[in-house]
Amino acid sequence: MKKMYLTRETLEKLKQELEHLTNVKRKEVTARIAKAREYGDISENSEYDAARDDQSFIEGRIAELQEILKDSKVLEKPQSTDAVDIGSKVRVEVDGQHDEFEIVSSIEANPMQGRISNESLVGKALLGCKVGDVITVSSTIKATYKILEIK
Amino acid sequence: MENFVKFFIEIGKLKFTKRKWYLHGIPKEESESVTDHAFRLALMSWHFSRKRKLDTARVLKISLVHDLCNVYLGEYTPYDKVLTGDQKKDDEIMRVLPRFSKADKERSSREQRDAEERALDKLLSILSNDFGEEIKELWNEYERQNSPEGRFVRQVDQIERLLQALEYNNTGKLNSVNPFWFQVKEWLYDKELIEFIESLDDHFYEGKAGKTHVEKSSN
């Protein structure tokens, strides 16, 4: 897994989630499985099947979180505002309007809140750009962005 | 079982709840419903999740529940606030994707989430059981994007909208398909999903543009 840059807040949330899953959810689902076994034949036991499905999901999420946390670094505010980097806030002109994005890792992306992934077509294209640069993400419909400010 | 009867009657209303395509020029009577959208989203999400380390059952469930709050709220869009109610003016506003400052986006996103959560809680209060709790958990994964499955469905949701927009565009009634293209270019980061939108481009524009690429000019 490649190194992921995450805000301190997100890292803390992920750590808390991992702790909750390992200390609470894992125990709960193990207890549910044990109880479901008491109902008898597990081949015809829907409670047992549901609990096993949940266990599989919880274990998968624990593994995923452990992997993310192992490979993550705290995203510090970029030292320089000369060029767009992950963590930069970028003000752009697009379609005759102004917009503002923060470039973040995919796991934190949410364009509805102004955070776009460094792996999205636009996010990737903005990386390395300087004020005044114009980028166009081309397909039949072209999307053109002029960089006005890097914070 | 009475609570389940009531719940299924309530969510049945989504078959007749239109999505807001009229904001983009499509007559209300021709707009898809919330369930129309969820149906194709579920199939698309299922297909695209198969080759990934994702829980397909969870992906399908998230696709099915992600818009349940529309039962009481209708479709909530971040653009509702900038619209005037005058069809001509609104058509002009929606011809390009309305843009907002980051602070406005954060505020509007929070307000939307709060309104949707209240509507969902009202719906789930009919159930008041573990089925309802599971729906709420899945909705949160989509809304707060705090699971890989939630983040994945959110991206596929953008593609389903784009595909619907392209289909409406072919009828000649859609004001502009451009805002939908801008959105997917800002939203999608999954490589296979990006390849799929290139296939949509090929299909609907006969491959005129070639592969998606970036042109850059410096001052």
Per-residue pLDDT tens digits for B68-96 = 999 998 887 878 777 887 878 888 788 77
In this prediction, residue A48 carries a pLDDT of: 87
CATH number of the structural domain spanning residue B126: 1.10.3210.10
What is the fold, at CATH topology level, of the domain defined by A89-150?
A: Chitinase A; domain 3 (3.10.50)
A135·B215 Cβ contact <8 A: yes
A141·B188 Cβ contact <8 A: no
Answer whether residue B216 is part of any domain: no
Q: Which part of chain A has CATH 3.10.50.30? A: 89-150
Which member of A17, A113, A141 has the closest CB to residue B181? A141
pTM, two decimal places: 0.87
A97 contact B CB<8A: yes
B101 contact A CB<8A: yes
On average, the pLDDT of chain B sits at 91
pLDDT of residue B208 exceeding 90, the answer is no
Interval A113-134: pLDDT, tens: 999 999 999 999 999 999 999 9
Write out the residue range of the structural domain in which residue B191 sits.
2-205
A66 contact B CB<8A: no
**HEC string for B86-109:** CHHHHHHHHHCCCCCCHHHHHHHH
Total structural domains within chain B: 1
- Domain A4-74 in CATH 3.90.550.10: no
- CA-nearest residue to B105 within chain A is A113
